[in-house]
Structure 1
Amino acid sequence: MICKRFLIFGFLLLSSVAFFAQSERIEYLPTFDKNRIHYGFYLGVNELDFKLNLRESNIPNADIIVESATGFNVGLIADLRLHKNLNLRFEPGLMSNSKKIIFNHLKQSSVPQDSIREIGSTYLRVPLVLKFSTDRYKNMRPYVLGGLSYNYNFSSNEKNQDDNSSGEFRMKTSNFMYEVGVGVDFYLYFFKFSPSIRGVFALNNEIKYDDDPNSKWTAPVNYMGTRGVFLNLSFE
């Protein structure tokens, strides 16, 4: 539901600004795209959860679900023009989010807290992104993008000696993700405004398994990786 609201809001935002850009007769920032390098920053919101794959284990009727939540993104932009329609972008920033993992097979536990883990994550993201743009039309320019990122999870607890038996859910500190998205550059009087919608997907397994190989929390999990949607607003 949240993801659908993201997409609807993003579509309405792109449509409204596109209407404004096309209605303007004056072409703003006519030489902007001739710069070899330019800089900027972005703000945004995200809706993230985990993709879970379970495996056969000695935990009967293992059932785990994830409740997604909304977080925020903020970062800087360094853009290198490789070609008139191709740019390489370096977009380091922070991504913060909090999710809830529910272990339904533990709901009958004598300790109710055993069935729920709150996962707060703050990532330092270091993405390299290729941006493929169309030719400019008046004050707008649609584009698609794709790239890879290294993500350092400050909240991973990977080196914590306690695990789920002590109430601590652990994840890996270093992770890799890929992202794909679409957006539009809008050329305004003083700057370029670029809203984009992106999908983000983990490449590696992010879970840190409990010390007990038969842990009722982590033994059923074969793979757990971040996935979600970004709505970014860039100012360059």
Structure 2
Amino acid sequence: MRYLLMCTVVFLSLTSSYGQGFFNTEKIRNKDNMDKQRWSWGYFLGFNSYGFDLQYNKPATDIVVKNDIGFNVGLLGNLRINDYIDLRLEPGVVFANRTFTYTEIPEDNFRDIKSTYIHVPLLVKFSTKRLNNFKPFVVGGVSRSINLSSNETNPDDNSAGEFRMINDANYFELGFGIDFYLPYFKFTPSIRGVFGMTDELKRDKDPNSPYTGQIESMKSRGIFINFTFQ
């Protein structure tokens, strides 16, 4: 929750600083015909906070999960449906890092989980009417990712110090943002929640493993803050 609050504060601070002057009714409209194009392209940079939603099959189980700040980069393809709806594809690379501390294991109880995802969301963007040089929107959709650092095919498991995840996972996503129309390009800060629908844990060979035996499901949860340029 603290990461969500932190990311939201950063997002609102940035959009506020960029938004000064956009609310003036006398403002000259920049890039007035940009949203009339059938197709448009761009790229994005941003950061993320990835965690896990852990469900246990044993009572009184506790694994401490720590989320670090990661980095996102990718491309944008946007298809205009009408003045208020767009369909967009945002293939990118997501670098995320999480750590597990197993409080019930006295030794070798720490796992550093580094993930590199090829992340491909298909999203629907619902925008308001453009107001001078800005336009708020909400966005939602589904996504699929390939975890290049999953270790799924590694024959070693936690008994040899290797934490494993599956390669592929599906998610649904929901967020909001604001399009700012600058003189030479459109700048869009946005914040989005990513919610895993797939159990990503690759279990150890031993069904009673203290590292994976108590976990019923392990689904990713993430917050993205992206800055898009078109």
What is the TM-score with the length of structure 2 in the denominator? 0.96
Q: Report the CA distance between 1:94 and its aligned residue.
A: 0.4
Q: Report the CA distance between 1:170 and its aligned residue.
A: 0.3
Question: Paired residue for 2:217?
Answer: 223
Question: Paired residue for 1:95?
Answer: 94
Aligned to 1:96, the other structure's residue is in SS state: strand
Q: Which amino acid aligns with 2:126?
A: F
Aligned to 1:205, the other structure's residue is in SS state: coil
**Aligned pair 1:39/2:33, yes or no?**
no
In 2, the alpha carbon distance for the partners of 1:219 and 1:180 equals: 32
Q: Which amino acid aligns with 1:123?
A: Y
Q: Which amino acid aligns with 1:94?
A: V
Question: Paired residue for 2:185?
Answer: 191
Report which of the two has the higher share of helix.
Answer: 1
Aligned residue among 73, 98, 117 for 2:111? 117
Question: Paired residue for 1:56?
Answer: 58
In 1, the alpha carbon distance for the partners of 2:179 and 2:27 equals: 17
Q: Report the CA distance between 1:22 and its aligned residue.
A: 2.2
Question: Paired residue for 2:8?
Answer: 7
What is the aligned-residue identity percentage?
Answer: 42
Q: Report the CA distance between 1:4 and its aligned residue.
A: 1.9
Aligned residue among 199, 203, 218 for 2:197? 203
Q: Which amino acid aligns with 2:144?
A: Y
Question: Paired residue for 1:84?
Answer: 83
CA RMSD of aligned residues (A): 1.2
Map 1:18-33 → 2, pairs under 5 A = 18-23=19-24, 25-33=27-35
Question: Paired residue for 2:138?
Answer: 144
Aligned to 1:105, the other structure's residue is in SS state: coil
Which runs of no fewer than 5 residues in structure 2 stay unpaired?
none
In 2, the alpha carbon distance for the partners of 1:232 and 1:191 equals: 16
In 2, the alpha carbon distance for the partners of 1:153 and 1:20 equals: 42
Q: Across the two proteins, how many residue pairs are aligned to each other?
A: 228
